[in-house]
Structure 1
Amino acid sequence: MACLSLFVFLAIFVVSAFPPACYVQGIISCIETERIALLSIKAGINHSGDQSLFSSWTGHDCCKWQGVSCNHESRHVIKLDLRQHHSRRVFFLNSSLIQLHHLKHLDLSMNNFDDSPIPGFIGSFANLEYLNLSDAGFSGAIPHTFGNLSCLCYLDLSSNDNLQSNDLHWLSGMSSLRHLDLSRVDLSKVHGWLHDINSVLPSLRVLKLSNAELQGCGIYATTDLPHHLNFTSLRVLDLSGNDGLKITLLQWLFNLTSLVHLDLSACALCGKLPVTECNLSRLRVLSLSGNHFDGVIPESLGKLGSLETLDLSENELNGRIPESLSNLTNLEYFYLFSNKIGKLPESIGRLQKLVKFHLSNNQIQGLMPASIWDLRNLQYLDLSQNMISGAIPESFGNLTLLQHFDGAVNNLIGKLPETIGNLVHLQDLDLSQNAISGKLSESFGNLTQLQYLSMQGNGITGGLPEYVGKLSGLSVLDLSNNNINGTLPKGMGNLCKLLILDLTSNMISGGIDDLVDGLSICSKGLETLNLGNNNLNGTVPENIGKLSKLIELNLPSNSLMGVLTESHFVSLVSLGFLDLSYNSLQLNVSENWKPPFDCLLIRMCSVKVGPVFPTWIENQTYLSHLCLSDAGISGNIPAWFGYLSTSTSYVLNLSNNNLEGRLPNSLKNYNFYRIDLSSNRFEGPLPELDLSFLLVIYLNNNSFSGFIPSYFANATYIQVFSVSDNHIIGSIPLFFCNLTTLKLLDISNNNMSGGLPYCWNSTSALEIINLSNNNFIGKIPDGLVSLTNLRSLHLRNNDFSGDLPLSLKIAKKLVTLDISENKLSGSIPIWIGENLSSLVALCLRSNLFHGIIPEQLSKLSSLQILDLAHNNLSGCIPHSFGDFKAMVATNHNQWWSLFSIVSVAKAYFSIDYNYRHNSFAYSESLLISAKGLQMEYSKVLSLVTSIDLSNNKLSCELPEELTKLHGLHFLNLSGNHLIGKIPESIGDMKQI
């Protein structure tokens, strides 16, 4: 009877002690009320997100559901992990969660609660030990009820960008807290954040407050450092991204002896590194990157013997790396990039545990210390953007674990060592923009793990080795701007993982059929194919149209030929940049063809797309750069052309065609950066355009008429204005004097008249002025010729009068001076020879100059063309004329290439990286009299040397010194009063 009573008592106790649970086939499942609560939570989820976690939320036993854990005895839910790892779920968190009273672990991170506030009832989970609500889209204030979570050990509210707290008093009740992360929570109004956090410090191990808009030192006092605060248990402290912190806080932090990890990156801290009395002997990770620290790296950093990661990148540190850092023998990750470090010590080789060493963008000069090549655990080494010189040594092959090496933008020379083949784990190799020479060695073939190879901008010679086609892991191959010759290896078509292939600007010959045919079969993702500026020939294979992922296709400046049809573009649906210029190609598509692509850039210069303006351009709604120069197009520009693109900026080149008529008014819809309509048959007034961002305009060699419109005064950024060879009338508008960025002004060969403005003082950027062959009158303004950057001045065939302005002597960069065929008078100034030392061409022909020829002209050591014909000059030919150095030699410098590419401050708009233009073209030309004929020299001008003194009043004998000018091509002394014998040595002037 006693036993029966005991059994009844125990049965009653069990029933009363545990809440009702589901019984399924004799097995206790979860608590029914909690199961219903979980299903209610599930119902609050937007089903457009990832539902894979909830696919298991069926049946009676919720303890078996994914993300749910229960106590084995009570069957209460104690853990709910709804962390989202993939696409975010939009979540509505209803109050049913409060039914899970026994929760110890709650993770709702990486969901999307759509800026809803954090429910205050979460503070009622008295047993909660772990709470993670990070990156979940919560907003508003952190509930003060969180202060009730006295058992909480881990709290992460980070990356909720609209979450904020005005104080941290609610932390005072969290006596068990060990991990606190409030990164990217707005704490800007919390003045005593360090004091408030100190209330839980006896157990706190990890404190992360990055990008929390913290201010000051975090204490309520304004001057004292928080020496009284107890931080002895803290191991990890992250205050990065708070640009309101004070440097005095840093001095105190460096004495927290318990710290293992300290991150103060991007805090806008400045001055010297305050680590002279650093006591962080346990520190393993120190990040001070992205601040404004200057001066040298202090020796005291070498005392941090436990350091494994040191990040001092993106500061203004200078000098050399101190020897003491070689004591950091546990260092594995060392970041110093983007400073002003000048030298590495030889002792750097003692850091034998280094895995990653990042030194890019410093001022390191000279040879690298030999010991760096003995860091045999290195997997990542970046030395790019320095001034490192010398050859890469054979010992480079010691770094057998290396996976990434970047030595780009240095002064490295010589051949690559054969030992590079030892780096069998190498995945990324960048040696671009150096002076490396020689052929690619056979040992390169051992680098079978290579994924990224860039050696662009070097002096690599020879052909591409066959083994290149066996580097099957390559995704990027950039060997552009070298001297590589030969044909493309057949195996290159097997590089199926290629994303970028760039061989631009080499001397590669042969066809591209094998390459394209191979890639069209196996390539799944080729995005960039750049083969421009080579010697490639043959046709463009139709299979190129199968490269459906292609974004950039650039084949300009080759010898490709043949007809391009719609098949060549059939699947190029991703194409954004197309450049087929300067080949012998013809486009043959139907009149109603609609390309599958919608490009940003199309360059078909010299591709025959005519005979009329191509209608398929109308479908290119994103177009911002179009070149159809020399394309065999005739007729008018259609009106729709001004409406097709949504681009806000535009580059347009339609030069050298047969286009005619007036320009459509719709062109003013574009903000042109550069427009070139030269060498057509356009007529009417100069076009009205949106000039807000115009840099370059070429309208020369057309039939435009009328005045230069006043609205060109709005072209405040213009650098090139060329309207030569038209029928423009009127005088030069005064607004040209306000175009402060103007570098080239060419209005030659028009019908303009009047005097020149006297207001050129603001146009100091001008380099080239050509006003030839107009009807300008009056004196040459002092301001026009005293421009310090002036290099070419053409005033030929006008009616200018008076003396040559004395202010011209200021233009010391002047290379070409042509003021022929005017009414200028006076004597030829002595200062031309003394001040204009850069002159290569001096043309004063057909004026009214008189007096003697100054012998100081012979000081013009670069002079190749001297034309003083048809004046009233008298006296003798100076004997010193035999000293013209540029006329003595038979080989002449290509000095006129100066005007082929003249640097400008801003590039005209072009998205294509490889063909971006940072210059404008100007072809210098001069009229030279030879054998009774005046001939215009342009392309071969740099090869010409000439002296023309004909039709003056020169007397005396022909100086024998003149016959030393063995490089002279033309010499005309006729129409003078010379006497005496012709020197016999004139026969040595074999170039004439």
Structure 2
Amino acid sequence: MKCFHILLLVVVTTLRPILAHSSKVNNTNTIRCLEKERRALLDIKGNLVDTHGRLSSWGDQENKRDCCKWKGVHCHNQSNHVTQLDLVYYLLRGKISTSLLELQHIRYLDLSENDFEYAPVPEFIGSLTKLRYLKLSNSNFSGPIPHQIGNLVSLEYLDLSRNDLKGGIPKQFGNLSNLINLNVNENNLSGDIHELMSNLFGPIEKKLENLDLSMNGISGLFPNMSRFSSLSTLDLHGNQLSGPIREDYLRLPNLTSLELSSNRIIGPVPDLSVSSSLEYLYLSNNMFNGTLTQSIARLSQLLELDLSKNKFLEVDFSRDWTPDFILEYLDLSFCKLGKYFPTWLKTQTELLFIDISGTGISDTISSWFGSIPSTLMYLNASNNQMHGSFPNFSFSSGHPLLPYLGSYRRVLDLSRNKISGSVNFLCDITDWQLLDLSDNLFSGQIPDCFANFEMLRHVNLANNHLSGEIPYSFGSLSALTLLHLRNNSLSGGLPTSMRNCTSLEMIDVGDNRLTGKIPAWIGDSFSEVRILILSSNGFHGSMPLNLCRLANLQILDISSNKMSGAIPECLQDFIAMTEKQNPYPFWGPKETFPVTQMLENAYLMWKGKEVRYINYVGLVKLIDFSNNELVGKIPSNVTKLVGLVGLNISRNNLVGPIPSDTGDLQFLNFLDLSRNRLSGSIPSSLCDLSHLGLLDLSYNNLSGRIPLSNQGLTFDESTFEGNVGLRGLPLNKSCPGDKSHQGPNSRVDGSDVETGDEFEDARFITDGFYIPLGLGFVVGFWGIFGTILLNKTFRYVFFESWNTINDLVFVKTELTKARLRRYFQNQ
């Protein structure tokens, strides 16, 4: 018997690994998914459009029957109930099926970053009572927030934000006693903030830590937020909140982040020292005023401070003031910092980002830049009155990217100051990404040290006193998209190496001393260029035909050079100019990084004046060939460029007629063909250009009657002067066959005389005409006017309207009288 037990023990010991393996194999083949929930999930899939096949693992096939293995589905280890459905970024469309209700054990539901085509948030979600995490952000939901969500008493995280939800927050939300995070940003919520916050009264106050209602249309006086005692982050930016913030309204001891930017808040910045853990404070773009109190110094944990665009706020502390915080991010742009550099900035040795633009500093630049922190990645000190030579300094060689820097690296903007000296300091760092030193007094040559500047995208050195040639090493700037060098004293030509700068979208080298021919390779290498400005230089020769390969070109300015030859016949190849207005700014949607506005501009000759277009340069489509030595005719296909808003080919030697279908340029606002040798008549289609604000056809050889209708009536004689063959209004010359115009009762040689198109022929009026006319006037006048006099309401409305009509009639009458007076005087 003893031997049997020993034998049995040996057998069991031997078989145990095999049995265990067999059990494991059986477990792997076991379908854990509950059939009822599997069918519900398949019905959910059936109501969705899965263009990208993200739900391809969901199915009825044998190898796809276990829903617990489906992508985005998670089941409980023991009960096998579906507890999580995570479909974020699945790019699904369609609607949410009511079969979702079969998943009664679900705790985590994320349907964000899909497209539910502006359907309302399903009310039945409020029946999934075990939900703890619900995220429906950026999924194109619309309509009101369903109050049934207030039934989800276990909910800890709710994100309904990037949607189109309207109205307010349901009062049932006050029952969400476990809610820690509430995010409804970037919707269309509206109404008074006090009413909205009153719906968050109740158990929700105890645990709520993160509240984000930013980027909505919420208005009203700033509310008392102190009752949310656990609040850690509060974001109300991008609304219409107004009034001052009372001191006791932000007594939040656990607050770490406060974002109130872009509202209408007035009054002093409140004392926030009770929030001793505050790390992020954003109050920009409001109407705070007074002087920032030194209590801010007690926020020892503060890392990021943004008070920008509060133009009435003074941040002018005593010179010996020293804060307790060490900042990484500081934006004080367009606040009042006073004349001198704030000495307390020297204590901020960890700064990565600083913007002190437009703050009124008129100090010497070396007073602070000599001790600039080596960690600095972004520096904007533009729009001040800083002067003196730029000191030697060095940035660190690199730093981890920060969220507010996006994909950018090194940025320096010192534009619109009075800084002098050379720009050789640029050579000390190779990871520049944006350089703006425009509108200063920098002089000397641009150093030829750009061979290793692989990340440099934007360069603006315009409006300085720089001389010498454009550096050959610019050809190594493969990432360069914007190059502004206008209004310096640069000489030579465009270096051939620049044909390697294939990412360029804007080139402005106007108003320099550049010479030579315009390189033909521009049309081959710069396929992305949208703005090309070569004006006011010494370029000569004919325009290369290769320029027509710049299909994306929106602005072409070669004015005030010595160009000769004919205008190319291939203008219709400027495809971007053949398209109607682009509703977006030139550089497309705004980048998240605070790029200086100076880079998004172009200097253009507009209606005789140099104008700087900022931000919306992309709405301008313009050709300027003026003040050259061009010959030949105006190419007829210029009228194919129907997106043009400006065309200037004045001051050349052009001949031939004005293209007859110039009226096709329906967006044209500015047309200058003056001081050429154009001949023939003025096309009547010009009068159909309703947007045309300036027209100059003066000093040509045009002839015939000036067409006068519609927009043509708005131009005066200066538009047409210097054309000896032109006749008619508004010139002092009548056309052959025109009758004399001396007044409505004038007679010449005893015959009736017409008085022009503005008057009806009055010869049919006799004495018998006036009798019925008088009787009709008396009856009609007192029938209407008598009723008005007897009725107070009618009387008030009538005389208010009459005043308005009278003003309009007076203006119109005076304009007509002035026009007729000038016409008769000219005969």
Residues 576/743 of structure 1: CA separation in 2 closer, same or farther (3 Å cut): farther
Q: How far apart, CA to CA, are the structure 2 residues paired with 1:654 and 1:620?
A: 16
What is the identity, as a one-letter code, of the residue corresponding to 1:686?
I
Letter paired with 2:531: L
1:398 to 320, 323, 345: 323
Deviation per CA, 1:420-460, whole angstroms, max 9, x where unpaired? 12111111112233433222244333321111112222222
Deviation string for 1:145-172 (max 9, x for gaps)? Answer: 99x9853333312333325554444444
Q: Which letter maps to 1:449?
A: T
The correspondence for 1:695, drawn from 662, 669, 684, is 669
Distance verdict in 2 for CA 1:170–1:239, change over 3 Å: same
Of 619, 622, 643 in structure 2, the residue corresponding to residue 651 of structure 1 is 622
SS of residue matched to 1:313? coil
- Cα distance in 1 for residues equivalent to 2:498 and 2:172: 66
Q: Is the 8 A contact 1:468 1:492 kept in 2?
A: no
In the aligned structure 1, how far is the partner of 2:144 from the partner of 2:520? Answer: 72
CA distance in 2, matches of 1:675, 1:441: 46
SS in structure 2 of the partner of residue 237 of structure 1: strand
**1:648-694: CA deviation from partner (whole Å, max 9, x where unpaired):** 46311111111112111122222322111110011222234441221
Alignment check: 8 A CA contact 1:124 1:149 kept: no
Tell me the equivalent position of 1:303: 227
Shift of residue 239, structure 1, vs aligned partner = 2.6
1:342-397 deviation per Cα after TM superposition (whole angstroms, max 9, x unaligned) = 23444233322221122222233343344334433222222223323445435885
**Alpha-carbon spacing, 1:780–1:123, altered in 2? closer, same or farther (3 Å):** farther
Taking structure 1 as reference, are residues 707 and 113 closer, same or farther at Cα in structure 2, changes over 3 Å only? same
Query: Could you say which structure has the higher helix fraction?
Result: 2
2:88 is aligned with what amino acid?
S
Q: 1:443 to 1:738 in 2, by over 3 A?
A: same
The answer to whether the aligner puts 1:238 opposite 2:240 as a matched pair is no
Does structure 2 retain, via aligned residues, the 8 Å contact 1:171–1:200? no
1:528 aligns with 2:458: yes
Structure 1 residue 713, shift from structure 2 partner: 3.0
Matched, 1:710 2:662: no
For each residue in 1:64-92, what CA deviation from the matched residue of structure 2 results, as whole angstroms up to 9, or x when unmatched?
xxxxxxxxxx788999xxxxxxxxxxxxx
Secondary structure of the equivalent of 1:659?
strand
Q: Matches of 1:305 and 1:526 in 2, distance apart?
A: 47
Structure 1 residue 260 corresponds to structure 2 residue 180: yes
Matches of residues 877-888 of structure 1 in structure 2 within 5 Å? Answer: none
Q: Residue 677 of structure 1 aligns with which residue?
A: 649
8 Å Cα contact 1:592/1:615 also seen in 2: no
Matched, 1:351 2:275: yes
Aligned residues: 674
- The answer for unaligned runs of 5 or more in structure 2 is 33-37, 39-49, 400-408, 580-620, 744-807, 813-817
8 Å contact kept, 2:539–2:561? yes
Verify: 1:597 aligned to 2:519, yes or no.
no
1:694-722 Cα distance to aligned partner (Å, 9 max, x none) = 12111111112233212223422222212
Whether the 8 Å contact between 1:131 and 1:156 is mirrored in structure 2 is: no
* Structure 1 residues 539 and 283: CA distance shift in structure 2, 3 A: same
Q: In structure 1, what is the equivalent of residue 197 of structure 2?
A: 275
SS at match of 1:414: coil
Amino acid at match of 2:109: L
The aligned runs of 1:157-196 (5 Å cut-off) are 157-175=87-105, 177-184=106-113, 193-196=122-125
Map of 1:617-632 to 2, 5 A cutoff? 617-632=547-562
Q: How does 1:437-476 map to 2 (within 5 A)?
A: 437-444=362-369, 445-467=371-393, 475-476=410-411
Residues 424 and 447, structure 1, Cα contact 8 Å, conserved in 2? yes
**C-alpha distance in 2, partners of 1:331/1:78?**
48
Q: Hey, what does 1:385 align to over in structure 2?
A: 309
Deviations 1:239-285 (A, max 9, x none): 336534653x5322133222111112234221122324354111110
Residue of 63, 72, 75 corresponding to 1:133: 72
Contact 1:209 1:240 in 2 (8 A): yes
Q: What is the CA-CA distance between 1:496 and the residue it aligns to?
A: 0.7
The answer as to whether partners of 1:419 and 1:443 remain within 8 angstroms in 2 is no
Partner amino acid, structure 2, of 1:749: G
Task: Please tell me whether the aligned partners of residues 268 and 289 of structure 2 are also in contact (alpha carbons under 8 angstroms).
Answer: no
CA contact (8 A) 2:556 2:622 kept: yes
> For 1:467 and 1:434, how far apart are their aligned partners in 2?
23
Compute the displacement of 1:605 (Å): 0.9
Q: Deviations over 1:168-190 (max 9, x none)?
A: 44444443x33222334567899
Rounded to whole Å, the distance in 1 between the matches of 2:171 and 2:823 is: 78
**Residue of structure 1 equivalent to 2:720:** 747
Partner of 1:519: 450
Q: Given the superposition, is the C-alpha separation of residues 748 and 349 from structure 1 closer, same or farther in structure 2, using an over 3 Å criterion?
A: farther
Say if 1:470 and 1:727 are closer, same or farther in 2 by CA, change over 3 A.
Answer: farther
Give, in whole Å, the separation in 2 of the partners of 1:538 and 1:215.
60
* CA-to-aligned-CA distance 1:194-229 (integer Å, 9 cap, x gap): 55543442xx3222233455566777xxxxx659x7
Verify the 8 A CA contact 1:569 1:595 in the aligned structure 2.
no
**Equivalent residue in structure 2 for 1:119, among 37, 42, 59:** 59
Q: In structure 1, what residue type is equivalent to 2:83?
A: C
Q: How does 1:41-52 map to 2 (within 5 A)?
A: none
Report the equivalent of 1:904. none
Write out per-residue CA displacement over residues 874-897 of structure 1, whole angstroms, 9 at most, x where no aligned residue.
Answer: xxxxxxxxxxxxxxxxxxxxxxxx
Tell me by how many angstroms 1:534 deviates.
1.1
CA shift, 1:568, in A, is 4.5
1:723 aligns with 2:697: yes
Contact 1:286–1:307 (CA under 8 A) maintained in structure 2: yes
Identity %: 27
Larger Cα-atom Rg: 1
Q: 1:824 to 1:414 in 2, by over 3 A?
A: farther
> 1:542, 1:20 → 2: CA distance?
74
Instruction: Check conservation: 2:182, 2:210, Cα contact below 8 A.
Output: yes
- 1:319 and 1:645 map into 2 onto residues whose CA distance is 51
Amino acid aligned to 2:454: K
**Residues 654 and 132 of structure 1, relative CA distance in 2, 3 Å threshold:** same
Do 1:749 and 1:772's aligned partners in 2 also have CA atoms closer than 8 Å? no
Distance in 1 separating the partners of 2:713 and 2:678: 22
CA pair 729-77 structure 1, distance change in 2 beyond 3 A = farther
- Name the CA shift for 1:19/1:467 in 2 (closer, same or farther; >3 Å): closer
Q: Which moved more, 1:337-346 or 1:469-478?
A: 469-478
SS in 1 for 2:393: helix
The equivalent of 2:4 in structure 1 is 2
Structure 1: unaligned runs, 5 residues or longer: 22-29, 34-73, 80-97, 99-109, 135-142, 220-224, 757-770, 782-806, 812-817, 826-846, 849-992
What secondary structure, in the 3-state scheme, does the structure 1 residue paired with 2:175 have?
coil
Q: Is the 8 A contact 1:149 1:173 kept in 2?
A: no
Distance 2:638 2:118 in 1: 53
Please say if residues 618 and 640 of structure 1, whose CA atoms lie closer than 8 Å, have aligned partners that are also in contact. Answer: yes
Deviations for 1:950-970, whole angstroms, at most 9, x for unmatched residues?
Answer: xxxxxxxxxxxxxxxxxxxxx
Aligned equivalent of 2:635:
664
* Residue in 2 that maps onto 1:554: 484
Helix, strand or coil at the partner of 2:561: coil
Give how far 1:586 is off.
Answer: 0.7
Letter in 2 for 1:668: T
User: How much does 1:611 deviate?
Assistant: 2.2
SS at match of 1:435: coil
Report deviation, 1:318. Answer: 0.8
Of 406, 409, 429, the residue aligned with 1:495 is: 429
Asked if the contact 2:289/2:314 (under 8 Å) is kept, the reply is no
1:765 corresponds in structure 2 to none
Q: Is the 8 A contact 1:193 1:218 kept in 2?
A: no
Q: Shift in Å at residue 486 of structure 1?
A: 2.6
| Equivalent position of 1:569 in the other structure | 498
In structure 1, which of residues 327, 333, 337 is the aligned counterpart of residue 251 of structure 2?
A: 327
